[in-house]
Amino acid sequence: MVETQIIKRGITEPSIISAMLNVPRHLFIADIHKQNAYSDRPLPLSHDQTISQPYMTALMLELANLNLAQNVLEVGTGSGYQTALLANIVDQIYSVELLEPLYHEAKILLAKMKYNNVQFKLGNGKFGWKEHAPYDVIIVSAAPKSIPEELKNQLTDGGRIIIPIGTNKQKLLRITKNSDGFKIEKCGMVSFVPLL
């Protein structure tokens, strides 16, 4: 998967490649879909949610420039796969999940996998997690209609939000906080589940 779907498509950051080699994606997939665990496509989770295709996950991590990050907020824990990747790369992860069954499943699985640098919260991620702000990076795994102001307010100077925005036609954005406000870069068209 990593060689053909990630490296050949231009993802070159060694920490991301290493994390993807070390985290077995099939552990985060329902039994009925395990035969497709390493296919480059999103797969269904419970409650009308999905686990993103591996390339999209790698792209978002690369856009986040995680080598400069210590404190990361993940909005939308989902299966916990991206959370595990992040935990292999950065010092501290705070992950917020709205759906209680997904929250519990991911929390239990990552505890079994011995990830000690992840804290989980059951709640609405569009409000962030103020108690642990400011964040170097915020990665959002579902698409709101517009950029949540609460998330922008929880960034450090130089901090980045990687987020899909929109309803039908979604854009992947990298939003960087700087001394003049916020720089917004469009990074392609995407398709994510809505941020509830």
What DSSP character marks residue 194?
Answer: B
pLDDT at position 47: 77
| Distance (Å, whole) CA 94 – CA 122 | 11
Tokens linked to 120: 């989980």
Domains of the chain in start order, with CATH, are 2-190 (3.40.50.150)
Give the pLDDT band of residue 2 (cuts 50, 70, 90): confident
Tokens linked to 107: 């929390």
**Tens of pLDDT, residues 112-157:** 999 999 999 999 999 999 999 999 999 999 999 999 999 999 999 9
- What's the angle, vertex CA 122, arms to CA 61 and CA 145, rounded to 5? 60
pLDDT at position 174: 98
Which of the pair, 44 or 166, is modelled with greater confidence?
166
In the β-sheet with 135-140, what is the strand arrangement from edge to edge?
118-122, 92-97, 71-75, 135-140, 155-165, 170-178, 181-190
Kindly write down the DSSP assignment for every residue of 68-85, as one continuous string. G-SEEEEE--TTSHHHHH
Residues that are catalytic = 52
